[in-house]
Amino acid sequence: MFRIAPSILSANFAKLGEEITNVIASGADWIHFDVMDNHYVPNLTIGPMVCEAIRPLTQAPIDVHLMVEPVDRIVPDFAKAGANLITFHPEASGHVDRTLGLIREHGCQAGLVFNPATPLSYLDYVLDKVDIVLLMSVNPGFGGQKFIPAALDKLREARARLDAYEARSGRHILLEIDGGVKVDNIAAIAAAGADTFVAGSAVFGAARETDVHRYDSVIAGLRRELAKAGA
Ligand code: DX5
Ligand code: ZN
């Protein structure tokens, strides 16, 4: 019912393969893969070659979050590299409907990402082509930022829209949250309607402090809080 998707942005890149194997063995559901281009966002991270390199290490879905502009050129490369889901920011695509279609044509699930100030109205005419909605609860570009509380109201609004859509179409769309998710706020975030939780610094930061390369206790802590939220 709830999915935990650690963001490898906060992993130790010198040991990336090990980090991925360990975080999945510790109970994570997905790998969240943050792609930044120093253009759409002021940071530069990893691309399709890294996705291809980690693909053989896990059966877990790879959730590619594109913070790049333009979007379409790179979509087929990520599909070939083994991505399962590809999400993008609508402001970064000149043709949102086309990009959603392109992602699905390449065999991946498609999603839109909403910055804190981006209105949900981008969903109005494209819900039939959307498999996942990702709400940013920080401004994109960096891990380790603080959760923006207004994201809770936005989650409730998105939950209502997606529930209404499911009631009329029978199709379930996932609702993911990204940014500042911790053990102490995940229950409130779940109560506001999220079902999929990205956590970067909360997961990889916790382990690095103690130099333990397993993440069981923090992931168990997140799940314990989710259970309280009324799973
Ligand atoms: C930010 C990224 C996030 C980030 C989350 O632009 O999209 O996925 O890694 O990191 P935390 O959980 O540390 O806020
Ligand atoms: Zn992300």
Of the candidates 129, 108, 131, 119, the one whose C-alpha atom is nearest the C-alpha of residue 51 is 108
Answer yes or no: is the C-beta of 202 below 6 A from any ligand 1 atom.
yes
Decide if 71 contacts 88 (C-beta within 8 A). yes
Residue 220 confidence (pLDDT): 97
Decide if 135 contacts 114 (C-beta within 8 A). yes
φ and ψ at 36, to 5 degrees? -125, 145
Residue 229 confidence (pLDDT): 86
Q: In a 10 Å sphere around its CB, with 0-12 CB exposed, 13-18 middle and 19+ buried, how is residue 73 labelled?
A: exposed
Question: Rounded to an integer, what distance in angstroms lies between the CA atom of residue 18 and that of residue 24?
Answer: 10
Question: Rounded to an integer, what distance in angstroms lies between the CA atom of residue 157 and that of residue 192?
Answer: 9
Give average pLDDT by consecutive 10-residue segment, the chain, 231 residues: 97 96 97 98 98 98 99 98 99 98 99 98 98 99 98 98 98 98 98 98 82 86 93 51
> Looking at the CA of 7, which ligand is closest?
1
Q: What's the predicted TM-score (pTM) here?
A: 0.97
Question: Rounded to an integer, what distance in angstroms lies between the CA atom of residue 90 and that of residue 72?
Answer: 12
Decide if 72 contacts 102 (C-beta within 8 A). yes
Question: Rounded to an integer, what distance in angstroms lies between the CA atom of residue 123 and that of residue 141?
Answer: 23
Of all protein residues, whose CA lies closest to atom 9 belonging to ligand 1?
Answer: 143
Q: Which atom of ligand 1 is nearest to the CA of 136?
A: 7
Q: Which two tokens stand for residue 40?
A: 């759409």
Rounded to the nearest angstrom, the distance between the alpha carbon of 169 and the centre of ligand 1 is: 32
**Residue positions counted in the chain:** 231
Q: What is the CATH number of domain 3-228?
A: 3.20.20.70
